[in-house]
Structure 1
Amino acid sequence: MQTLSVNTLTTEEFFTAVHSLRPNIAVFDCDGTLWSGDAGSGFMKWSIETGLVSRDAADWIDGRYRAYHRNEVSEIAICGEMVQLYQGLREDELRRAAREFFVARIERNIFPEMLNLVNDLRASGVEIWAVSSTNDWVIEEGAQRFGIPAERVLSARVEVKNGIISDVLRDVPTDEGKVASLKRVGITSPDAVFGNSIHDAAMLAIAYRAFPVNPTPALIERSAQKGWPVYYPASVAPH
């Protein structure tokens, strides 16, 4: 059986490849791509630790998350439920909590190389979008660090009525859902897409040029099949 290999770009090669495209539209996944770690599950656990959610809600999501890891709950279901977890709370409270969480747990994990790249692209007039299956409160907070406005963030979200969070899902962008979310805002063939997991593969596939960043094993395999070179920021580069 033939083993497929994948080409790994240096930082200089990565930047050159992106800038040589002269992209008009660039799309970025967030968790694992712009920063290391999973802010979605991290915020869920932090919410339980700090008592942001009730004990009943905490027990419910804990059971669902364990079932997810036993492959008994789908990716799209758990991503949606991790937003529905906050139903009944005030949205302004969630935004304050998301800001506190991001500063305490995620901000230090931002990849400097990706921050520099996004800043360079924005300075060149590139339209930047962030697409994530993590809740909109955390992703919008993180996107601010990259100068990405909330109106260009597509993330897991529920309806908010009179300032109160409901359990009515509006969007859960994961897998093919990321492509669907982009299509709804008129983006069907972005110039460059950046993602780190197999749940970004469908979105990477619609790009003129796909850039797997800090790829998971499943995405490395897909990248080898597709001939996509991969890139690792220095802090997560394999030795």
Structure 2
Amino acid sequence: MMNTQWNEETRDPESCKVAPSIAHSLSRTVSSKCMDYSRTEAIYPTAIQFIESVLQLAPRVAAFDCDGTLWSGDAGETFFGWELKRGVVSQEVGRAMRARYAEYKVGNVSEEDMCGEMVTMHKGLSDSAMMETATEFMTSHFPGRMFSEMKQLVQQLHGQGCEIWAVSSSNEWLIRAGMKEFDIPENRILAAKAELDHGIVTDKLVRVPSGPGKPKALREVVGKEIHAAFGNSRWDVDMLAMATHAFAVNPNPDLEATAQEHGWTIYFPDGTSRR
């Protein structure tokens, strides 16, 4: 579907002069006397329209992917390269993980396995030290990448009393550090996580929420209907499909195509564009 061209009328959230493609798609999620309910299509709303369309749903439980959805870029992969250069793990572990990552990039290692190994590679390090390292990275080496409208949306959902969960296949230390920007508490984070032994990281995984692992984690831990879900890649499709209302945010081309097929709302944050 072609991206909708917006004029000043379509940018006004109070106006009933909404472009047809907006009205058709929002018929799935927003009740309005100005809307035509005859069809369902994917849409490309502006920031204000996107935020308002979600808030009007008043979701009681919402799930957000993080990398590429709440912020630009993949914090997990970026952190991986950064920490190897910093010597956070031993040279031996670093060499092995670089080789493993190269295999992953050519398709010989699965997404879930790679994400899991990016956590268990820290075996023997303390949880507190990893949290300090992740916080340093997110504040000093990954700053300014948060999507301002997504931060605004999360804050307003908090204000509505929505129970918000962050679901990510990146390591939990990074997500815990990043969620401070969104006021999402640690007990509402489902990320790649290793078991601890007296505060020391082990090579045993608790979970790796990727692909089908995302709805699995939500069912096991949250145990409630997910009213709204937000993601940017094919690894989020299962989570989006389980939700009452799905939002493809800053989607990769494959997720954008899937969203169009399902009539899910498609939103590209300000400063991003279709790929």
TM-score, L = length of structure 1: 0.95
Instruction: Give the structure 1 partner of residue 66 of structure 2.
Output: 30
Cα distance, 1:105 vs structure 2: 2.4
Identity of aligned residues (%): 41
Query: Does the residue aligned with 1:211 lie in a helix, a strand or coil?
Result: strand
Q: Is the 8 A contact 2:171 2:191 kept in 1?
A: yes
Instruction: Give the structure 1 partner of residue 56 of structure 2.
Output: 20
Cα distance, 1:164 vs structure 2: 1.0
The runs of at least 4 consecutive aligned structure 1 residues that moved more than 3 Å come to none
Deviation per CA, 1:151-187: give whole Å up to 9, x if none: 0000000011112111101100000100000001233
Q: Is the 8 A contact 1:179 1:188 kept in 2?
A: no
- Does the alignment pair 1:63 with 2:99? yes
Q: Is the 8 A contact 1:25 1:126 kept in 2?
A: yes
Q: Which of 157, 180, 185 is matched with 2:193 structurally? A: 157
Instruction: Give the structure 2 partner of residue 44 of structure 1.
Output: 80
Q: Is the 8 A contact 2:51 2:149 kept in 1?
A: no
* One-letter amino acid of the structure 2 residue matched with residue 10 of structure 1: T
Query: Does the residue aligned with 2:143 lie in a helix, a strand or coil?
Result: helix
- Which structure 1 residue ranges, 5 or more long, are not aligned? none
CA distance in 2, matches of 1:221, 1:23: 25
Instruction: Give the structure 1 partner of residue 145 of structure 2.
Output: 109
Cα distance, 1:6 vs structure 2: 4.2
Cα distance, 1:214 vs structure 2: 0.3
Q: Which of 224, 228, 233 is matched with 2:264 structurally? A: 228
Query: Does the residue aligned with 1:185 lie in a helix, a strand or coil?
Result: helix
Deviation per CA, 1:91-125: give whole Å up to 9, x if none: 11101100100012223100100011100110111
Cα distance, 1:235 vs structure 2: 1.9
CA distance in 2, matches of 1:157, 1:201: 21
Query: Does the residue aligned with 2:271 lie in a helix, a strand or coil?
Result: helix
* One-letter amino acid of the structure 1 residue matched with residue 204 of structure 2: V
CA distance in 2, matches of 1:74, 1:189: 29
Give the paired residue count.
237
Cα distance, 1:238 vs structure 2: 4.1
Query: Does the residue aligned with 2:95 lie in a helix, a strand or coil?
Result: helix
- Does the alignment pair 1:198 with 2:228? no
- Does the alignment pair 1:136 with 2:176? no
CA distance in 1, matches of 2:224, 2:250: 24
CA distance in 2, matches of 1:47, 1:183: 33
Larger Rg: 2
| 1:168-179 correspondence runs (5 A) | 168-179=204-215
Q: Identify the range of structure 1 (141-150 vs 183-192) with the bigger mean alpha-carbon deviation.
A: 183-192
Cα distance, 1:90 vs structure 2: 1.2
Q: Is the 8 A contact 1:28 1:194 kept in 2?
A: yes
CA distance in 2, matches of 1:65, 1:6: 35
Instruction: Give the structure 2 partner of residue 82 of structure 1.
Output: 118
Instruction: Give the structure 2 partner of residue 9 of structure 1.
Output: 45
Question: RMSD across aligned C-alpha pairs, in angstroms?
Answer: 1.6
Q: Is the 8 A contact 1:188 1:206 kept in 2?
A: no
Query: Does the residue aligned with 2:150 lie in a helix, a strand or coil?
Result: helix
Deviation per CA, 1:56-85: give whole Å up to 9, x if none: 111111111111111000010001000011
| 1:109-128 correspondence runs (5 A) | 109-128=145-164
CA distance in 2, matches of 1:91, 1:22: 36
